[in-house]
Amino acid sequence: MRGVAACLLSVAAAVCVAEPLREARPLMGTVVELAVELPAADATRAHAAIDAAYREMQRLSDMMNHYDPRSVVSAINDAAGRAAVNLPPELMAVLAMAQAMSARSDGAFDVTVASLRGWRFRADDPRLPSAAEIAAQWPLVNWRDLRLDADAKTAFLARPGMRIDLGGIAKLPIVHAGMQLLARRGITRALVNGGGDVEALGGSRERPWRVGVRDPRAPERLLGVLRIERGFVVSSGDYERAFVRDGTRYHHILDPRSGYPAQGPRGVTLFGERLEDLNGLGVAIMVRGKADGMRWLSEDARVEGLIIDDDGSVWMTPGFRDRFSATQ
């Protein structure tokens, strides 16, 4: 759907802008929204740039989708324990970013957690694996056994049965690729929202982009709005995919240390201007918990953040608080 709107709304955020050209299309298992501002006379050029951005994001999504048996990620999984797989440069960059975040978080972020195949968080068909099933598959989870060869441009999973899933780290680079395409087409003010992973370009203190932050226990309402001029906003939470079984709630962010859903905060929202500083960090904080998350964010001036703990308490870095307006 194309048109002019005062507010861009998504399942994970709300963004208000001054009469942008807006479009929303299904992509990456969510809805990816673009808002582009150009003079009315440039509408044709804006539509062409939007179409090109969606094509690029679709290309990368197809490459990195482990559900698609034709994807490069599926090829890596199929060859686990047997052979290295040649990588396109975009996938090598994402896997290198994943490995860097795994090292930084001491394994709290780990794309090989997909080796735990028994979990299923589909609302219409959830599945809770048995303790024996988890115990059998858990030894396959080890980020160090994803071997990247930058010179040969290959990836190799060291043991048969290992799998990777880039759902926790690929979406923001794909969003960024869409934004880069818009910029190359001459767009100077835009926002790309990939189901809560957001990049903004061309805002100002006088006219910032406004990104809503969800309440993890009442996702239909907002805790407040974050004002940004440019950069990335990424949210991780236990509310997106979850089910209840025998009175226990299970969510999709698995702890690589146990094979079970993380027992950390309810939700984390981060803001920064460099992709590599925050991509995957929200998941790592969800796994490691509030104390480690507060320490990491307090020590890193490049990332601002908000952590909503399991008891509902809210903690923010000073820089996040300066940009945040709570919903009344």
Confidence of residue 37 (pLDDT cuts 50, 70, 90): confident
Beta-strand runs (E) in 10-131: 14-16, 21-27, 30-36, 85-86
Q: Across the chain, which distance is largest between two alpha carbons, in Å?
A: 63
* Distance from C-alpha of 125 to C-alpha of 209, rounded to nearest angstrom: 38
Give pLDDT tens digits for 215-233.
887 878 899 999 999 999 9
pLDDT in tens, 281-313: 999 999 999 999 999 999 999 999 999 998 989
Element (H, E) at 50: helix 43-64
Structure confidence at residue 19 as a pLDDT band (50, 70, 90): low
Over residues 68-86, the pLDDT tens digits come to 999 999 999 999 999 999 9
Reported as a single tens digit per residue, the pLDDT across 89-101 is: 999 999 999 999 9
List, edge to edge, every strand of the sheet that includes 85-86.
Answer: 85-86, 154-157, 146-149
The C-alpha atoms of residue 201 and residue 208 are separated, in whole angstroms, by: 10
Average pLDDT, the chain: 91
Higher-confidence residue of 17 and 179: namely 179
Q: 123 or 278, which is more confident?
A: 278
Single out the residue of 110, 107, 150, 100 nearest to residue 278, CA to CA. Answer: 100
- Where are the domains positioned within the chain? 3-40+186-326, 72-157
Q: Each residue of 55-66: pLDDT tens digit?
A: 999 999 999 999
Residue 122 confidence (pLDDT): 87
Which CA distances in Å does 321 have to 92, 226, 227, 259, 285?
35, 9, 10, 34, 19
Conformation bin of residue 144: beta by default, left when phi > 0, alpha when psi is -120 to 50: alpha
pLDDT above 90: percentage of residues in the chain:
82
**Residue 328 pLDDT grade (very low, low, confident, very high; cuts 50, 70, 90):** low
Per-residue pLDDT band for 196 (boundaries 50, 70, 90) equals confident
For domain 72-157, give the CATH superfamily: ApbE-like superfamily (1.10.3980.10)
Query: What's this model's pTM, rounded to 2 decimal places?
Result: 0.91
CA dihedral 81, 62, 260, 299 (to 10 degrees): 100
Measured distance CA(191)–CA(202) in Å, rounded:
9
CATH code linked to domain 3-40+186-326: 3.10.520.10
Residue 18: predicted pLDDT: 41
